[in-house]
Amino acid sequence: MPRPRPAPAGAAERLQKYLAQRGLGSRRAIEEWIRAGRLSVNGRIAELGVKVSEHDDIRLDGRAIRVRAAAGAQVFVFNRSAGDPLLTADDQHENPRAPLIERLPKSAGRRFIAVSPMPGIDGGLELVTSDGALATKLQRAIHRQPSEFTVRVKGLLGPDHLAGIESGMLDRGAPIAVESLSTSEADLEGANRWYSIVVRGASGKDVRQLFERQGALVSRTQRVAVGSLKLEKSLARGQYRQLTDDEIGALLKPARPADEESEDY
């Protein structure tokens, strides 16, 4: 699937799309700015549907917005260690850690959006992009794809615990789809054991709750795969790589039914 491309230089685009492609926020957030009268174009309060180009004077709360030229959609995958900040700096006074996105090239953008991020105490596969519209589509798409997590718990879970996890029931009421749950003697780690679970429509927070709801003492949850995208052993903790066009296309494919809006983002 080809990577979505921005309009040619100088071509007019809807304001929310133009700013989202350049990393200023999600399209929905920018629409809220327009409704609130916070954005102006060439001295006039912007309205929904107004089209702009790089030649227009765009301001937010009276301040000029300096935007970078839109590049092809970029998505990065990180292997995040548990506790490492992804988008925001660690606010601890002792030994603060810089967010992982600071390792990305400056040309990739200045505002990044995490796609279905893991809880801060957990880690593994994390996706980020500076394209707000693309982030929304990816969020919708991976919610429909199977995701694999590994969960470290203290001790061995009994049959009743496993049956409860496989039921997919959460505190919110609606169950999630559990496609598989497994462990082996090779997954022993001292007094702990690792379980592998494949689910659909669940976040890392949901998976942790799924185990804790059965009384399991969870010490770590890691996401290791989303759809066909797997966390390679060659990608060291704290490192990242850019996804290819084919990988982005594979992630987006489930979110493009025939009745979905056809407009590029």
What pLDDT tens digit does each residue of the chain (265 aa) get?
A: 444 444 444 568 889 888 877 666 778 888 999 999 999 999 999 999 899 987 889 998 998 876 654 455 689 999 999 989 998 765 444 446 788 988 887 767 668 889 999 999 999 999 999 888 888 889 999 889 999 999 999 999 999 999 999 999 988 777 899 999 999 887 888 899 999 999 998 999 999 999 999 999 999 999 999 999 999 988 999 999 999 888 998 998 865 444 444 344 4
Residues 6+ apart with CB under 8 A from 165: 157, 178, 181, 197, 210, 211, 214, 216
d(CA 88, CA 240): 17
* The predicted structure's pLDDT at residue 190: 87
* The predicted structure's pLDDT at residue 193: 94
* CATH, domain 146-226, list 1.20.1050.90, 3.30.2350.10, 3.40.50.300, 1.25.40.10: 3.30.2350.10
Q: Please tell me the pTM assigned to this model.
A: 0.70
Q: How many other C-beta atoms lie within 10 A of the C-beta of residue 210? A: 29
d(CA 141, CA 250): 10
Superfamily of domain 13-64: RNA-binding S4 domain (3.10.290.10)
* Domain chopping of the chain, boundaries: 13-64, 75-143+229-255, 146-226
174 Cα distance to chain centroid: 22
d(CA 172, CA 158): 24
235 close to 125: Cβ distance less than 8 angstroms: no
* The predicted structure's pLDDT at residue 256: 47
* The predicted structure's pLDDT at residue 46: 93
* The predicted structure's pLDDT at residue 103: 87
3-state secondary structure of 1: coil
* The predicted structure's pLDDT at residue 262: 39
* The predicted structure's pLDDT at residue 175: 86
CATH number, span 75-143+229-255: 3.30.70.580
